[in-house]
Structure 1
């Protein structure tokens, strides 16, 4: 919840360990909002995994896994190219 409001940058691994001068180079609000959307997507894939186990539907598990892997690949590529979160 804090990330979706643009707060809680200390929760983001890597950003948390930067020096204060390095942190000043980044737009914290944009980074936090982006990471909150990623976390919501990961939660959706975990929900699909749980539902697949409860309902005994293999295709839900596969859908959740595809969503999870695609989301991780997209996040790694999007966040590390184009200096999107730098001021």
Structure 2
């Protein structure tokens, strides 16, 4: 699972909505939401912005995680730790 997918799934569960409900809110297929959460699909910035808005996650945070997920594993952990330190999470 990608870091982006983990955060989206965690926040979606915190808000208490299903994948299907999120899919309807952002006008995107439920299977696509599932694929994003599992790390098998990288959403466009437009979709990412709609997800960020509905789940009340800063768009920039989701964008940064999307970039980290595309980064080679040997650099990924360092970038993720930097991001966490800068965002205070």
Which structure has the larger Rg over C-alpha atoms? 1
**TM-score class, shorter:** 0.3 to 0.5
The two structures have a TM-score, normalised by structure 2, of 0.36
The two structures have a TM-score, normalised by structure 1, of 0.36
Say which structure is richer in helix: 2
